[in-house]
Structure 1
Amino acid sequence: MIKIFIIGTTASNLFLFRKDFIISCIDSKYKVYALVSEYDNYWIKEIQKLGAEVIKYQLSRSGLNPFKDLKSMFELKRYINQYNPDIVFSFFTKPVIYGSLAAKLAGSPKVIGMIEGLGSPFTEHPTGQSWKMKMIRFFQVTLYRIVFPFLDKIIFLNEDDPEDLINKNKIFHRKNAVNVLGAIGLDLKDYPFQKWDESKDITFIFVARLLAEKGIYEYIKAAKLVKAQFPDVKFKVIGGLDLENPYGLSKQELENLIAEDIIIYPGFVNNVKDHVADSAVFVLPSYYREGVPRSTQEAMAIGRPVITTDVPGCRETVIDGVNGFLIPKWNVDALVEKMCYFIENPMQINQMGHASYTMACEKFDVNTVNRKLFNIMGLDV
């Protein structure tokens, strides 16, 4: 029986974003071990229900202590030596670096890393990057220089990321190691198509962490400008505050926006897809270095047009003028213009929404994506 180590960070993320891959592996009679560093009993049990064995290890996702990271690497090496997997498959930055190094030291026969977007170190802010983030980027690239040469496969989700990470930084890698998967995909049955009810007032919806790089401030500025012209239009926000992030929306700012009736904020919800289905247009003015945004894929599957930015990752989800619009990053005027277009041309909501649904079926069906991923990894489906 082929044994696969899947090394991630949080148990919730591993379940939510690797569930269908794990199920496909189990169905193909592979033995799956899911390694997680942040967890609670609920998510551990959910992963176990899939048929995977869970292994807990220590790793600080955002910590900058190299000694702790090396300790994590040797812990992973110990587990790899103990279970002797045929494939070590890591995703997210630190697991790709330290999980892959551990696999190399343990002599694993196949080592694969997935880079799901370049993240904050490669995100350009309007005011430029902080000194700290520039240093993180430097060390991250340095570590990739060490790791990439021995990876059997390096998987990206969009075409821009290997260009900006590997080619521009001249990182050596094995011949034919780099592959572009596209979106991770989703089970379309979980996000059924629902036509927009044209009798309702138009509602725009933003689903993401309430951070500057996700476009929350552009969304709020646009909402204020649009409501000045069309006071009945609603603007919904779904996502959590990150009070430790210097680029995050503050609790006071959020409370003021709610009090001023600029946005509707239902707080923490478990039924995001119901809120999307109850909205007319999905908006993500992100300039974060996304892989391919999951929230946008979900909105497209449900049948909603999308307004998003013409940046890596986001641009993978929209054909401009067909299923929505691409706008320049940081450009509130362009966002307002496209919002007003849907308000003034409401018949386009369902027309473009159906185009989104068609694209989701073609590009984001997890069964198709998993077959491609299995092929890249050299596995039989």
Structure 2
Amino acid sequence: MNTSQPLASNLEPQRAKIVLIASLTSSLTNFRRDLMKDLIGAGFDVVAMAPDRDPIVEDELDTLGVRFVRIPMSRASVNPLADLATLAVLVRLFLQERPTAILPYTMKPIIYGGIAARLCSVPYGYFLVTGLGHVFAVEPDESVVRKLMRWMCVGLYRCAFKKAKAVFVYNDADLADITERRLVDDHSIVSMVPGSGVDLDRYRASTPPLQPIVFLMVARLLRDKGIPEYVAAARAIRARHPDAVFQLLGHYDPNPTGINKRDVAIWQQEGVVQYLGATRDVRANLADCSVFVLPSYYREGIPRSILEAMATGRAIITTDLPGCRQTVDPGVNGLLIEPRNVSSLVEAMETFIEDRAAILTMGQASRRMAEEKFDVRLVNRLLLARMQIGDNATAANVETGQHQPSGGEAAQATK
């Protein structure tokens, strides 16, 4: 998939076709709407592929001018036959569509999209590593099965990336894993970008409420997201500060570490946490909260939920782990806590209860950081420049508020 000519040169005499591949249909409009618009503006026909039927998203894609194609894919399954079926369908579709390029994101779309593209001789492969996957998070006393899974994933990633034109990563941990595990042959194709970005016009700053203080956590209902720690911290704080409010928003997930409905019902019955269900639009919930909390120890890229909270002007509490820590300047726009540590989370929350002025000042700092580092327009300019699409700007000329290593720099940064 690697060639010497820029992709933009394929735009004439006919429009090039680029295929985005996702593991969750709603993510196409939640996270990639602006990128798809920019690709269309650069002259591409855009096709989006994802597994689940979502009429609302499909209508939005149609309005954007993006054609949607459903594919079989199970995000949580480890059934090799199901994954082979996904690969076979992608091969068939690529032979039919004859795309000029693919742009998959998340683990399964990257692996099976990349392998299918190689089998079908798709000229350009661009890969958006929003997180290598939880299997790459090395834990003490982990099982042989987990180690075997990681070994298999390393091999699959290497196969998918073999002819990649560019690989984009969100954090230094994924960058280090790609380098140290030799997932790519040429490290110059790897670039770090500041997450998926956030639409600052859509997520507008607002003044956080101070009475009562409302803590909000937005995440898929997975234990690795730190939900049990959040609930335990809420229980401890409400014993001393009964007026404090703790909210949880997010959808149930079939992942083996998923939280079940019975646990959530017990927490609500106890009165420790208000479960808000799931929503397609978190803006009202963010506007109603005082402080945003994500005590995740999941292998995050850069959590989009935090970026949306920052754009809304909210102080952040999150873990001192790759991906999460990129969003917080400690003591400036939020606080970093130890992962899996309820006491550390309680201490951070009580800091804001006792110093409510910090909610305002740190919230304002979050908005400034979102404007300087995480504006989706800046992120997309980085992506398109590295893909050699659009104007002749290079990633180094795009002001993002921080230095983003690329190529050889990226490889050196991990040594």
Are 1:367 and 2:377 an aligned pair? yes
Correspondence 1:89-128 to 2 at 5 A: 89-123=103-137
Shift of 1:354: 0.1
| Larger RCO, structures 1/2 (Cα 8 Å, 6+ apart) | 2
Q: Which aligned segments of 4 or more residues in structure 1 are displaced greater than 6 angstroms?
A: none
Are 1:239 and 2:239 an aligned pair? no
Correspondence 1:324-343 to 2 at 5 A: 324-343=334-353
Shift of 1:226: 1.1
Q: Which residue of 2 aligns with 1:194?
A: 206
- Write out per-residue CA displacement over residues 93-143 of structure 1, whole angstroms, 9 at most, x where no aligned residue: 122111111211222221111211122212356x75455443322211111
Q: Which amino acid aligns with 2:221?
A: L
Q: Which residue of 2 aligns with 1:216?
A: 227
Q: Which amino acid aligns with 2:68?
A: V
Consecutive unaligned residues in structure 1, runs of 5 or more? none
Q: 1:4 to 1:281 in 2, by over 3 A?
A: same
Partners of 1:222 and 1:324 in 2: CA distance: 17
Match of 2:28 among 3, 9, 14: 14
8 Å CA contact 1:154, 1:177 repeated in 2: yes
Q: Which amino acid aligns with 1:52?
A: V
TM-score, length basis structure 1? 0.93
Aligned CA RMSD, in angstroms, stands at 1.9
Partners of 1:208 and 1:67 in 2: CA distance: 30
8 Å CA contact 1:11, 1:40 repeated in 2: yes
Correspondence 1:43-62 to 2 at 5 A: 43-62=57-76
Shift of 1:295: 0.6
Secondary structure in 2 aligned to 1:88?
strand
Q: Which residue of 2 aligns with 1:380?
A: 390
Match of 2:303 among 293, 302, 310: 293
Identical-residue share of aligned pairs (%): 39
8 Å CA contact 1:10, 1:39 repeated in 2: no
8 Å CA contact 1:239, 1:267 repeated in 2: yes
Partners of 2:255 and 2:78 in 1: CA distance: 16
Partners of 1:63 and 1:251 in 2: CA distance: 20
The count of corresponding residues between Structure 1 and Structure 2 is: 377
TM-score, length basis structure 2? 0.86
Q: 1:4 to 1:232 in 2, by over 3 A?
A: same
Which is worse superposed, 34-43 or 203-212?
34-43
8 Å CA contact 1:123, 1:287 repeated in 2: no
Q: Which residue of 1 aligns with 2:153?
A: 140
Secondary structure in 2 aligned to 1:176?
helix
Q: Which residue of 2 aligns with 1:207?
A: 218
Shift of 1:270: 4.2
Q: Which residue of 1 aligns with 2:291?
A: 281
Q: Which residue of 1 aligns with 2:162?
A: 149
Secondary structure in 1 aligned to 2:75?
coil
Partners of 1:250 and 1:181 in 2: CA distance: 34
Consecutive unaligned residues in structure 2, runs of 5 or more? 1-14, 392-415
Q: Which residue of 1 aligns with 2:399?
A: none
Q: Which residue of 2 aligns with 1:72?
A: 86
Q: 1:143 to 1:321 in 2, by over 3 A?
A: same
Match of 2:45 among 26, 31, 35: 31
Match of 1:350 among 360, 364, 371: 360
Which is worse superposed, 115-124 or 358-367?
115-124
Secondary structure in 2 aligned to 1:155?
strand
Shift of 1:245: 4.0
8 Å CA contact 2:179, 2:187 repeated in 1: no
8 Å CA contact 2:250, 2:276 repeated in 1: no
Q: Which amino acid aligns with 2:178?
A: I
Q: Which amino acid aligns with 1:237?
A: L
Partners of 1:284 and 1:76 in 2: CA distance: 35
Which is worse superposed, 219-228 or 293-302?
219-228
Partners of 1:124 and 1:235 in 2: CA distance: 31
8 Å CA contact 2:113, 2:160 repeated in 1: no
Q: 1:96 to 1:215 in 2, by over 3 A?
A: same
